[in-house]
Structure 1
């Protein structure tokens, strides 16, 4: 072989891509390049992300005018000061004084991510028209382009934090995917497993020629550090179409075929998913900014429904099929909390004890609605428990209490935030047909002295609620609820939790928001800009101001029995992040 030909072959097999100032080597036939994050990782205790207001007089944009965002001042941010921990004594007796109380021993350290909404943006079964024309950010915003890359950046951020202070486990609180599709769930699991991701469906697209320079390019996910076990809860988007309804045959066939969905407003029409009148549209994956195609009134398309390339991997997953995919993973533990029997029954509740040397029990609760439709035909996106799951929860709590274990309930939907009498018509309220009402559930939880926390997602916001004891003489009956924001919408954060025993034998829970670390110019950085721009265009409220972040030290009174027991547990407490 001539020397020139040898050189030519070598040159065609190797490419150099510059990503955020880092060089990534791409070799044909070998794993494709990665999107590295910044090597230094900060939590919001050290610095925050502050959106920069859109300049006065700037052109008012529509959400799909993505190419005009930057020029008009949308989606800009700056770094702000760190956010300290607000010391919350809501559950403690009125006469309690923290005084010289200090952390004495660390009991548990874990992270939570939720509402990631991995999205097949090119699917003909999305509801892009809802955001494009009707002002629903959950229907469309350009963050849909980068959902896999944002998860990858968040996982890399966890891996760096793991080196500084190891996690006992991580848990994902549902809405892993957006539309209930098989390819969405495989992207999600494969990112966590560190596989090569092709975030493209239908025909292979490359909007910007070359590797690692657009939202459709294949990339090698970093994968979660193998020493961290991760667990999964189910959310309404994981087993309902768009998180709202069991799909009928029309929706199921639309997902895998090429004609774009014809649908009306399922939230207002009495026909719900039987309503028609608008083609919902899809993202054109051939375009650099993810232009919307095939959206509009049916009358605007006299030649028939608009089409996109079909893909059989868009098939809708039943609840049991969704559970079974968590056994097709290279990370641990097997099933990520689910058992083999759950594949048959679809029962998505389980419990585990993350540390053999600490008496803490995690109760993972499926508090989404059952797969059947609501009796009145309305949305299935509410929180709910049937008799079987409520009985299971009570049994788990009774057992944990009897065994002298502190308990944390991990569920997708929060409780007590919008009671039915005040939340009518809201997708955040508790189901009025549930076997146990929201009010009665809270009352039951108030009977367990060892319940520390209810952790949840669903509402895409960072909120902490104190459920005070109904008996002032027994403050240990109070518990905390901590909600964590979504990785999809601004502020695109996850949380870490550190539980420590204090010197006065109370317990403190340090809840910390974390922004995924991003490299300049990376897809995750672009997603942050788009998330802020969408927040501005849809005129959403940032709460708490100015960053949407909230860090707190949550103090909990222990029963006399647990005060004595915990004196023998934990490792010396170190610096709080």
Structure 2
């Protein structure tokens, strides 16, 4: 049976003390700290010291509020996870495929970084257990800045399931709430972390929907005219699935169904129970940048976002040029979007203006997280503090457990583009923070992956500051042997990569099939090794859909099935067996 340790405490860095001796000494105060947490004592706050280059203090460690966990299950357990079953398409690959319950994915033991030793299951101690959510892409599908018209060139520029993203996100919240503990160890789950692209259009109304979905409340996923939908799915354009219409659009020719009442149901109020766990937030490029790639704080794009014109179609040659400029260009694509919108203004559809669609700034993002309306189970700010607002900073540290520290990075380049990087100030802060916690285990969270951080555009607010990519970040993390894992998203694909001394764990999105989140459990095997158990979970929606069931639960099931059938959807996003349900071995430092 696994033994669990999870408590917050203030521990000074002591670089001359042996790690094993240090942990043995601090173990005596662990029980007292756990008692303080359970009875509502204040959160422990640690600091890595000021960054002299930026004159900004390091963000404090914030301990999650105590959680009353469901009864600990007999372990290992599989129910409610992809170990037991996975939504699996049937029928011919060329047509619309219905989902049904399929066989689960086995757990794979990966020994890339350490060998297994017998008997570890009987010896191990649990250090941490939590859930990662990533790339929710809660989306306002009626937003005028959306670039659905690029579907002429790239089918993935618009997804038929997008109108149901709120129902899908709430169903994922329900799944996380239903988990009785870590599937491998039974340890109570202590928090959830989102790793970016929580919103889709950098829109204020999407930010409110996302925060409400995770903290709890009622969401009406509609903007513009509250009386009816104004977007591509009732445009009459055969390029897009017209669910309420008899039109034989391009998707219906592929087998998509007619679903009368779909748009009314998709814009109906959804109720979220909110996560029952404390949760933390990490920022992604779609959260920080209009369209996920344009430089922020652009008056023209803000005017389009809140205005009354929405471009829905382009000539194919124009769409191809725009797609290539955005996808493969080295710049932030603002000019390309602006030129398109100006040149084709007469083609645009008249829609109801809505100020709630305004792109949110970094300060607005922080203020929204700090708003008491969105505190839910806590912590207040979900990782961010008033100090971060004053410093215009979107990275921080927080206490995960007695011997485990979390670090959330901001890997979006403020200069624009969908790929990422970090500035020199943040890189120095990370190095200093890792040194300050040299005698604890560290888990690093970000949106971008090591292979998607190649953006060297300067930060407009710090034009002289150098930007650093994935290889440099891997090098820095490798030099700090206390780093166990770098956990991220962005690619919408499951991929687990060994980096010599730590694991990079990349998790698929919750908008593209197979729509997954990941439970992570960290254990000390008491034999010189550590294990990271990763277990994928789907939303709480049933695998089978009913086109006549337009309830909140039925829409969440349809959200998954539509994503499976989206034209142009990749078939490799689930990754291989070694990227899914795993035990990842590490040498204990």
- Is the structural similarity TM-score above 0.5? yes
After superposition, the Cα gap between the structure-2 partners of 1:221 and 1:135, relative to the gap in structure 1 and judged at 3 Å, is: same
Q: Structure 2: which 5+ runs fail to align?
A: 1-77, 230-243, 245-259, 458-465
Which whole-Å CA distance do the structure 1 matches of 2:365 and 2:223 have between them? 19
Give the counterpart of 2:302 among 252, 274, 289.
Answer: 252
Matched residue pairs, number? 446
Q: CA 1:75 to 1:327, structure 2 compared with 1: closer, same or farther past 3 Å?
A: farther
In the other structure, the counterpart of 1:240 is 289
Residues 90, 509 of structure 1: CA spacing in aligned structure 2 closer, same or farther, 3 A cutoff? same
- Relative distance call for 1:251 and 1:53 in structure 2 (3 A) is farther
- The question of whether the paired residues in 1 share the 8 Å contact of 2:375 and 2:382 is answered with no
Q: Distance in 2 between matches of 1:251 and 1:181?
A: 11
Choose the corresponding residue for 1:185, options 201, 207, 219: 207
Residues 219, 270 of structure 2: 8 Å contact kept? yes
- What SS does structure 2 have at the residue aligned with 1:148? helix
* 2-structure distance, mates of 1:406, 1:491: 31
- Please tell me whether residue 430 in structure 1 is matched to residue 479 in structure 2: no
The match for 1:342 among 388, 391, 404 is 388
Residues 254-291 of structure 1: CA deviation (Å, up to 9, x unaligned): 111111249961642779332369978xxxxxxxxxxx
In structure 2, C-alpha distance between the alignment counterparts of 1:297 and 1:547, rounded to whole Å: 48
Out of 501, 509, 513, the position equivalent to 2:532 is 509
Query: Does structure 1 conserve the Cα–Cα contact (< 8 Å) formed by 2:164 and 2:555?
Result: yes
- Residue 432 (structure 2) pairs with residue 395 (structure 1): yes
Aligned to 1:99: 118
CA–CA separation in structure 1 for the residues paired with 2:292 and 2:195: 14
- Give secondary structure in 2 for the equivalent of 1:122: coil
- Aligned equivalents of 1:389, 1:153: Cα separation in 2: 35
Q: Which residue of 1 aligns with 2:406?
A: 362
In 2: Cα distance, 1:136 partner to 1:267 partner: 14
Find out whether 1:157 has 2:138 as its counterpart. Answer: no
| Mapping 1:426-505, distance limit 5 Å | 428-432=452-456, 435-468=467-500, 478-505=501-528
Please say if residues 48 and 547 of structure 1, whose CA atoms lie closer than 8 Å, have aligned partners that are also in contact. no
Q: Which residue of 2 aligns with 1:284?
A: none
- Quote the offset at 1:53 in angstroms: 4.8
Give the alignment of 1:119-138 within 5 angstroms: 119-130=139-150, 132-137=151-156
Give, in whole Å, the separation in 2 of the partners of 1:215 and 1:251: 26
SS in 2 for 1:394: helix
* Superposition deviation, residue 514 in structure 1: 0.4
Is contact 1:367-1:383 (8 Å) kept? yes
* CA-CA distance at 1:202 after TM superposition: 0.7
Q: 1 CA distance for matches of 2:263 and 2:83?
A: 32
Structure 1, unpaired ranges of 5+: 1-39, 57-72, 281-295, 374-378, 419-427, 469-477, 560-577
2:429 maps to 1:383: no
Counterpart among 310, 320, 325 of residue 268 in structure 1:
325
Q: Does structure 1 conserve the Cα–Cα contact (< 8 Å) formed by 2:295 and 2:334?
A: no
- C-alpha distance 196-277 of structure 1, shift in aligned 2 (>3 A): closer
Q: Aligned-pair distance for 1:435?
A: 3.4
* Distance across 1 between alignment mates of 2:406 and 2:325: 38
> Is contact 1:453-1:479 (8 Å) kept?
yes
Structure 2 contact 493–572 (Cα < 8 Å) conserved: no
The alpha-carbon deviation at position 346 of structure 1 amounts to 2.1
1:171-210 alignment to 2 at 5 Å?
171-205=193-227
Pairwise CA distance, 1:234 = 0.7
CA RMSD of aligned residues (A): 2.8
Asked whether the equivalents of residues 206 and 217 of structure 1 are also in contact (C-alpha less than 8 Å), the reply is no
CA distance in 2 between counterparts of 1:274 and 1:387 reads 27
For 2:492, what is the secondary structure of its paired residue? Answer: coil
Q: Structure 1 residue 76: deviation in Å?
A: 1.7
Shift of 1:90: 0.5
Question: C-alpha distance in 2, partners of 1:126/1:213?
Answer: 21
Q: Deviations over 1:528-560 (max 9, x none)?
A: 1110001xx21523245689971110011012x
1:451 and 1:255 mapped to 2: Cα distance? 41
Partner of 2:92 in structure 1?
54
Residue by residue over 1:485-524, the C-alpha shift from the partner in whole angstroms, topping out at 9 and shown as x without a partner, is 1111111110000111214141111001101120454111
The structure with the greater share of residues assigned to helix is 2
Distance in 1 (CA, whole Å) between partners of 2:90 and 2:485 is 34
Q: Secondary structure at the match of 1:526?
A: helix
Structure 2: distance between partners of 1:544 and 1:142? 20
Pair 224,437 (structure 1): closer, same or farther in 2 beyond 3 Å? closer
Query: Offset of 1:354 from its aligned partner?
Result: 2.1
Q: CA deviation at 1:362?
A: 0.3
Q: Within 1, Cα distance between the matches of 2:360 and 2:324?
A: 23
Q: Distance in 2 between matches of 1:437 and 1:544?
A: 26
Q: How many Å apart are 1:126 and its aligned residue?
A: 0.7
| Alignment partner of 2:131 out of 111, 114, 123 | 111
Conservation of the 8 A alpha-carbon contact between 1:366 and 1:412? yes
Structure 1 residues 244 and 154, CA gap change in structure 2 (3 angstroms): same
Asked if structure 2 preserves the Cα contact closer than 8 Å seen for 1:179 and 1:241, the reply is yes
Query: Among residues 199, 203, 216, which one is paired with 2:267 in the alignment?
Result: 216
Does the residue aligned with 2:479 lie in a helix, a strand or coil? coil
Q: How far off is 1:307 after superposition?
A: 1.3
Instruction: Give a deviation string over 1:470-492, Cα, whole Å, max 9, x none.
Output: xxxxxxxx100000111111111
